[in-house]
Amino acid sequence: MLGAAVGLADSGGFLFTGVLSAGSRGWVADHVVLGSVLLPGTAFVELAVHAGVRVGAERLEELTLEAPLVLPVGVGVRLQLVVEAADASGRRVFGVHSRRRDALAGEPWVRHATGVLVPGVAPVDGDLVVWPPRDAVPVAVEGLYGELAEAGLEYGPVFRGLRAVWRRGGELFAEVALPEEAWDEAGQYGLHPALLDAALHAVGVDSAERFDELNAGPLIPFAWSGVSLYAVGASTLRVRLSELRPGAVSLLVADGAGQLVASVDSVALRAASAEQVRAAAGAGHHESLFQLEWTPVPVPGAPELFAEDWAVLSSGDLSALMEAVDSGSPVPSTVVVDYATSASPADADAVRSATHRVLGLVQAWLADERFAGSRLVLVTRGAVEAVPGEGVRDLAFAAARGLFRSAQSENPGRLVLLDLDDSALRVDPGLLALDEPELAVRGGVVCAPRLARVPVGEGETASAVFDGAGTVLVTGATGTLGGLVARHLVVEHGVRHLLLVSRRGMEAPGAAELASGLGDLGAEVTWAACDVADREALAELLGSVPVERPLVGVVHAAGVLDDGVISSLTPERVDGVLRPKVDAALNLHELTRDLGLRAFVLFS
């Protein structure tokens, strides 16, 4: 697991490094907790003891796991174990950190564990030569791994090592073994992590309360103290587990012949939750936080593209082109529809008009089989923000581009989006030699959209936006999204006054339950029945917000879903979706823009 070690200049410390993935060590992939591959706590013990032996501090005095290490699918994780310089007594503090191999430069390392190493190993009284122990009563283990899987611990073959358990008073005795195919790799470890983990499966194996507790989350080890290793490479173990207190045991570990292997003064277990695992999966990696960046791309020369192979239309009406093809003209390989000169006001009617025009264009294009080998290029001007802060000049065709992009996803390779600025007076043939579905020209530079991780730190001040004194309005509050957002505002952002809006208000299914739940979280909830697309009704609602709790934020989550492939859409269906989004958003914007809002959030 650790591939390199180096002494640190001027500090007396050591750095151990390695790369882990679910595939690099087969046994790691067998440790699945609540749907994610987690490095087991016993692996951290193995790492720490190995480092301790290398630096002359063989005993693991303490180890506390702070965050699970989730191993993402298909991506390796860089590991660093830093051991600090020894103090006067020889104690060394250490920490274990990780970061994805594909992490961007600004992404932080995540600290998973901290602890202390000390010189020497502890003497131990007792042995496990007599086996099974005298006066111990067998405990059934059949079905254990099925029950654990139901609780969220989906162990693979290497971790299913518990073979037998006996109880004697407050002691449990466990026999564990690696599967035969893993015997050879046991010698690569001081104490194979899967083997030590399997020994802990005996905790409470004969107690029904164990599984009641597991309903709230599976038990995993998180704190260790007093770990000493006496022998290495065992493939089978005899283990004595002595209960110290609820959720904590001490361990005496021997090999299959009863010879001492290890001892643990204490290991404490606690329940893991799905939220903790999800948080660990994203900690420091921001796997779900991406933003769109427009990246310059080189434009090749395009001698093979000639003007006679193009058709340029300014109206979006294909009828003249179709007539020309009917009359024997060749089918052009590229048809450019130039809406770049269209001046669209920023109102809902303009949005409807633009989307209707583009819908008709795309449907006509895709329905004519003669154009199956040609590309349709939609040209706009200032309808997308390709440079941060430049804004969107043509809001109507920004919406139309969204419709066009949906058509692109259904018909890859046949549709291209191109947005120009004032530096581009015409469409350069070289642009269309690029194999890109979407391009923008800014200041003579050609850019294509790329997904990039959000730099760490951006968005982390969001919780400071609200101070709890003002009111936040949430539209579509009885929908699934609206309810989640309302709870998030209260729990994560400290909002204490919510104005929740839907067409039916408090009469909508689930409204009373949501209000009750938010009240339990400390929020005061006011419900309102309002069609936010109705400007007069919205103005009246906003006028009802108490002066002592002024409106400080708007979250527009309302919407109507009417999905369909592009060929099945109609202007009427598009309008039905646009009204609660566009009309309502414009109303909210215009009626609140002078209120000094701290946040104005729109969901697509």
Query: Side-chain half-sphere of 493: how many Cα atoms within 13 Å?
Result: 25
* pLDDT value for 211: 39
* pLDDT value for 464: 63
* pLDDT value for 219: 81
* pLDDT value for 547: 94
* pLDDT value for 21: 84
Using pLDDT thresholds of 50, 70 and 90, give the confidence band for residue 570: very high
Segment (H or E) for 209: helix 208-214
Using pLDDT thresholds of 50, 70 and 90, give the confidence band for residue 288: low
Any idea which of 52-61, 179-188, 304-313, 373-382 has the lowest mean pLDDT? 304-313
pLDDT at 43 over 90: yes
Mean pLDDT of 484-505: 92
Distance between CA atoms of 533 and 586, rounded to whole angstroms? Answer: 8
* pLDDT value for 281: 63
Among candidates 15, 115, 1, which has minimal Cα distance to 66? 115
Q: Are 346 and 395 in contact (CB under 8 A)?
A: yes
Kindly report the three-state secondary structure assignment for every residue of 421-444.
CCCCCCCCHHHHHCCCCEEEEECC
- Widest pairwise Cα distance in the chain: 101
Please spell the DSSP secondary structure of 450-463, one letter per residue.
EEEEPPTTTTTTGG
Distance between CA atoms of 295 and 450, rounded to whole angstroms? Answer: 7
Among candidates 482, 532, 531, 491, which has minimal Cα distance to 510? 482
pLDDT at 48 over 90: yes
* pLDDT value for 286: 44
Query: Side-chain half-sphere of 73: how many Cα atoms within 13 Å?
Result: 3
pLDDT at 24 over 80: no
Mean pLDDT of 245-272: 92
Distance between CA atoms of 156 and 159, rounded to whole angstroms? Answer: 6
Mean pLDDT of 179-202: 93
pLDDT at 210 over 70: no
Residue percentage of the chain with pLDDT more than 70: 90
pLDDT at 459 over 50: no
3-state secondary structure of 117: strand
Residue percentage of the chain with pLDDT more than 90: 63
Q: Are 175 and 164 in contact (CB under 8 A)?
A: yes
Mean pLDDT of 434-441: 91
Distance between CA atoms of 485 and 483, rounded to whole angstroms? Answer: 5
Mean pLDDT of 218-227: 90
3-state secondary structure of 18: strand
List, in order, residues 6 or more apart from 544 with CB less than 8 Å away: 528
Using pLDDT thresholds of 50, 70 and 90, give the confidence band for residue 282: low
Residue 80 pairs in a beta bridge with: 17, 97
pLDDT at 155 over 60: yes
What are the pLDDT digits (tens) for 315-324? Answer: 778 888 999 9
Segment (H or E) for 543: helix 535-543
Using pLDDT thresholds of 50, 70 and 90, give the confidence band for residue 427: confident
pLDDT at 341 over 70: no
Mean pLDDT of 67-87: 90
Any idea which of 51-55, 286-290, 343-347, 356-360 has the lowest mean pLDDT? 286-290
Q: Are 31 and 40 in contact (CB under 8 A)?
A: yes
Mean pLDDT of 508-532: 93
Distance between CA atoms of 341 and 207, rounded to whole angstroms? Answer: 76
Mean pLDDT of 554-583: 94
Q: Are 49 and 58 in contact (CB under 8 A)?
A: yes
**Where in 256-391 does DSSP place strands (E)?**
260-271, 290-296, 310-313, 334-338, 375-381
Mean pLDDT of the chain: 88
Burial tier of 265 (Cβ tally within 10 Å: 0-12, 13-18, 19+): middle
* pLDDT value for 152: 83
